[in-house]
Amino acid sequence: MSRIGKKEIVVSEQVTASIDTGTVTIKGPKGQLQQSISNRIQITEINNSNGHILSLSTLDKSKEARALHGLSRTLINNMIIGVSTGFTKQLEIRGVGYRSQMDARNLILNVGYSHPVILPAPEGIDITVDKNTNITVSGINKELVGQTAATIRSVRPPEPYKGKGIRYKDENVKKKIGKAGK
């Protein structure tokens, strides 16, 4: 049985959870998220003096059910965190002449190509640019925030010799030495 799946999920007072057959809907101050859950996972809601608690259990002992146990718990927990506080990813651009800017809901990147790269922000994602080199991606869906940040980074990933490119805020890029004759 999954160790992560055994942990109970504490639902705060500002968040409401509704469980239908195969679908979990979480509503909070930042928005609403919906996720379909496998029919091999059973979700029970416990009303406690501290608030609501969600508990997950498997209906059978198959390998697939055990794999989905921890996944389902993590997805529901991330939904609760998302609608209450939200998720952010920060990227920074390094390189001479590399910069970014916002035009309505489009991110415009000038990162050494002969043309600017235009990336539209997906629905539910907010992108902000600070000082032309710091990009912040925020939203309530953790998967969509991470995918959007990865898409922005993939435009010009950091190269190993000078470190130029787009990287995550705390990413450590290992540098290679150049030619031996230098």
Q: Is residue 74 exposed (0-12), middle (13-18) or buried (19+ Cβ within 10 Å)?
A: middle
Task: Report the alpha-carbon distance of residue 139 to residue 88 in Å, rounded.
Answer: 7
Position 139 scores a pLDDT of 92
Give pTM, 2 decimals. 0.83
State how far Cα 179 lies from the chain centre. Answer: 39
Instruction: Supply the CATH number for residue 80's domain.
Output: 3.90.930.12
3-state helix, strand, coil in the chain (%, to 5): 20, 40, 40
Number of separate domains in the chain = 2
For residues 50 and 28, state if they share a domain: yes
Kindly list the averaged pLDDT for each block of 10 residues, start to end, along the chain of length 182.
76 85 88 88 79 82 86 90 92 90 90 90 91 92 92 91 90 85 56
For residues 58 and 97, state if they share a domain: no
For residues 79 and 133, state if they share a domain: no
| Boundaries of domain holding 149 | 87-168
Residue 36 lies in a domain: yes
Provide the greatest CA pair distance for the chain: 71
For residues 110 and 162, state if they share a domain: yes
Position 2 scores a pLDDT of 63
